[in-house]
């Protein structure tokens, strides 16, 4: 076993690559992929915000396979060595990180082994242990003997949803073919080396050591790393936030680049208390503000809004993005279609201030914001908005059981009649969702036209 040599790929424009004031975003690939087909869309979304550097797996994206096998720990060491070799970067500089699948596993390894280097990480379609070790060893043996083309059909089925593949083919954007071409071109020995490294990977006992902010991202239709598995490990990381990306399978960066780029921007807004600014966290110690229990939101006070010099149009754009992520595209599209000359300014106000200024703040995660919003709406008796935000709470990661607990808590601190009304309206939403799921075989949180439409209010 040895530390492999890692090839970096510069994804920033030349001017950004020389800008030492711009924070570094390091991107990690998935098994069988090359960096540009997987992360190119995200990099374009983030152009100008970061200096974006990616790394290729040994034997992938034109990089040579390693001369020896390696572990995920050694792979992470190779990534750090490659970053440290970039001349214009300060020695042992810190960076933001985003990785998919095995790239996410490397991110977790970096978070526990080099906390002073990672300012925060978006870990996508990954986990501290990735599947059955014996199956990985069997796949390594097959690919080493017969090559990566043996993996094309199965990978296409796991990587992307069928409707995306069809749309991509019709539009001629080439995302699917780019990913599969990279798979076919991968060195069979390099692919097998990564499989064996994954087989031996297990960080399940070390997640509590992570001190940097983390967003754990799952694809709603990912058969490789299921959403519940991601949610479960995220609960073991102090202050981590779970995000479910709808209409996405395993290759979330390729299929949903806008949504993932938005999460990276939100992560980078959590500057106070990050590894780069808080000396206690640089040493791997708890934040001076106070530790949070695993699975809970950070106990730190809300961080100041990043990008305080944003223009009104930028704030509106951020607000619309979060609004769509929380309420769904269909929901917001209906609201936008219904606005007219009388309500247009109100819609702009809501998008900029409610969604662009408050919901984008990094100090609370979205499940916590949903819990607060539901309680406030119960107190005020705004039942139409309450039903809308019950749906939003499910999209934000709260379970029906957790929503029930919020309503029970409200009965004590508000009133029993208020909670009684809340149970009535919440059950009405659940019943509609169950009926929609039964009739259309769609996920329970899919949004459709219904009586809990936001109209002109939010």
Shared domain for 255 and 321, answered yes or no, is no
Around 137, how many Cα atoms within 13 Å sit in the side-chain half-sphere? 6
pLDDT block averages, 10 residues each, the chain of length 458:
93 68 92 95 92 96 94 97 90 93 97 95 97 96 95 94 93 93 95 97 95 95 94 94 93 95 88 36 30 32 41 77 86 84 88 90 89 96 94 92 95 94 95 82 45 46
| Residues 331, 233 share a domain | no
Say yes or no: 94 and 199 in one domain: yes
**Residue where a domain stops, chosen among 270, 292, 327:** 270
DSSP H helical ranges for 237-365:
252-255, 257-268, 279-282, 312-327, 329-338, 344-349
Distance CA(167)–CA(315), nearest Å, equals 31
**Interatomic CA distance for residues 250 and 79, integer angstroms:** 23
Residues 52, 110 within the same domain: yes
One domain, residues 121 and 214: yes
Backbone angles phi, psi at 12, to 5 degrees: -85, 160
* Domain of residue 205, residue span: 7-270
264 part of a folded domain: yes
Residue 299 within a domain:
no
53: domain CATH number?
3.40.50.1820
Q: Give domain status of residue 188, yes or no.
A: yes
CA distance 369 to 142: 48
What pLDDT score does 242 carry?
95
In sequence order, what are the beta bridge partners of 24? 51
Residue 445 falls within a domain, yes or no?
Answer: no
> Do 41 and 159 fall within a single domain?
yes
Q: Do 53 and 185 reside in the same domain of the chain?
A: yes
Q: Is residue 75 part of a domain?
A: yes
The answer to whether residues 248 and 317 belong to one domain is no
What CA–CA distance (Å, rounded) separates 71 from 274? 28
- Enter the tokens of residue 77: 């060491």
Provide the β-strand partners of residue 124. 100, 217
Say what the pLDDT of residue 294 is.
31
Quick: pLDDT tens for 358-388.
Answer: 998 888 889 999 999 999 999 999 999 999 9
- At 435 the pLDDT is 86
Taking CB atoms within 8 Å and a gap of at least 24, the contacts of 158-164 are 158/222, 158/223, 158/224, 158/249, 158/250, 159/249, 159/250, 159/251, 159/254, 160/249, 160/250, 160/251, 160/254, 160/255, 161/221, 161/247, 161/248, 161/249, 161/255, 163/247, 164/247, 164/249, 164/255
Structural tokens at position 415: 């009133």
User: Does residue 384 sit within a domain?
Assistant: yes
The answer on 258 and 385 residing in a single domain is no
Query: According to the model, what pLDDT value does residue 330 have?
Result: 82
Whether 71 maps to a domain, the answer reads: yes
Q: Would you say residue 279 lies in a domain? A: no
Which tokens hold the place of 26? 């390091």
Residues 206 and 329 placed together within one structural domain of the fold = no
**How many domains is the chain partitioned into structurally?**
2
- Domain CATH number, residue 385: 1.20.1290.10
Domain shared by 242 and 331, yes or no? no
Q: To the nearest whole percent, how much of the chain has pLDDT over 90?
A: 66
321 and 249 in one domain?
Answer: no
Domain's final residue, options 270, 286, 302: 270
CA–CA separation, 70 and 302 (whole Å): 41
**H/E segment holding residue 124:** strand 118-124
């Amino acid at each position: 076993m040895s530390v492999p040599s890692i090839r970096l790929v510069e994804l920033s424009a030349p001017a950004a690559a020389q800008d030492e004031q711009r924070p570094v975003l390091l991107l990690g690939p998935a098994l069988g992929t090359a960096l540009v087909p997987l992360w190119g869309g995200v990099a374009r979304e983030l152009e100008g915000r970061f200096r974006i550097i990616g790394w290729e797996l040994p034997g992938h994206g034109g990089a040579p396979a390693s001369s020896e096998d390696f572990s995920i720990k050694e792979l992470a060491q190779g990534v750090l060595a490659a970053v440290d070799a970039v001349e214009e970067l300060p020695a042992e500089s810190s960076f933001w990180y985003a990785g998919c699948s095995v790239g996410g596993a490397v991110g977790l390894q970096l978070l526990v082994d080099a906390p002073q280097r990672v300012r925060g990480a978006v870990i996508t379609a990954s986990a501290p242990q990735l599947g059955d070790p014996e199956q990985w060893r069997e796949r390594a043996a097959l690919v080493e003997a017969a090559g990566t083309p043996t993996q094309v059909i199965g990978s296409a089925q796991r990587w992307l949803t069928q409707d995306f593949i069809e749309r991509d083919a019709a539009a001629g954007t080439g995302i699917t073919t780019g990913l599969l071409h990279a798979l076919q071109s991968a060195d069979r020995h390099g692919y097998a080396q990564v499989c064996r490294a994954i087989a031996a990977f297990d960080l399940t006992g070390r997640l509590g050591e992570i001190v940097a902010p983390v967003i754990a991202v799952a694809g709603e239709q990912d058969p490789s790393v299921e959403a519940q598995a991601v949610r479960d490990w995220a609960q073991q990381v102090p202050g981590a936030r779970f995000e479910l990306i709808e209409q996405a399978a395993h290759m979330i960066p390729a299929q949903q680049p806008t949504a993932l780029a938005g999460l990276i921007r939100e992560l980078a807004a959590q500057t106070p208390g990050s590894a780069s600014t808080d000396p206690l966290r640089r040493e791997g110690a708890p934040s001076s503000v106070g530790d949070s229990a695993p699975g809970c939101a950070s106990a730190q006070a809300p961080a100041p809004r990043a990008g305080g010099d944003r223009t009104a149009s930028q704030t509106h754009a951020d607000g619309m993005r979060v609004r769509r992520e929380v309420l769904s595209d269909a929901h917001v599209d209906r609201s936008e279609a219904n606005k007219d000359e009388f309500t247009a300014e109100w819609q702009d106000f809501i998008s900029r201030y409610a969604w662009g200024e408050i919901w984008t703040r990094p100090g609370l995660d979205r499940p916590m914001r949903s819990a607060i919003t539901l309680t406030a709406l119960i107190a005020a008796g705004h039942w139409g908005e309450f039903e809308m935000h019950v749906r939003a709470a499910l999209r934000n990661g709260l379970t029906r059981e957790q929503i029930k607990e919020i309503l029970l808590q409200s009965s004590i601190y508000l009133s029993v009649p208020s909670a009684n009304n809340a149970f009535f309206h919440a059950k009405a939403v659940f019943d509609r969702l169950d009926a929609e799921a039964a009739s259309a075989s769609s996920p329970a949180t899919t949004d459709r036209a219904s009586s809990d439409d936001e109209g002109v209010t939010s």
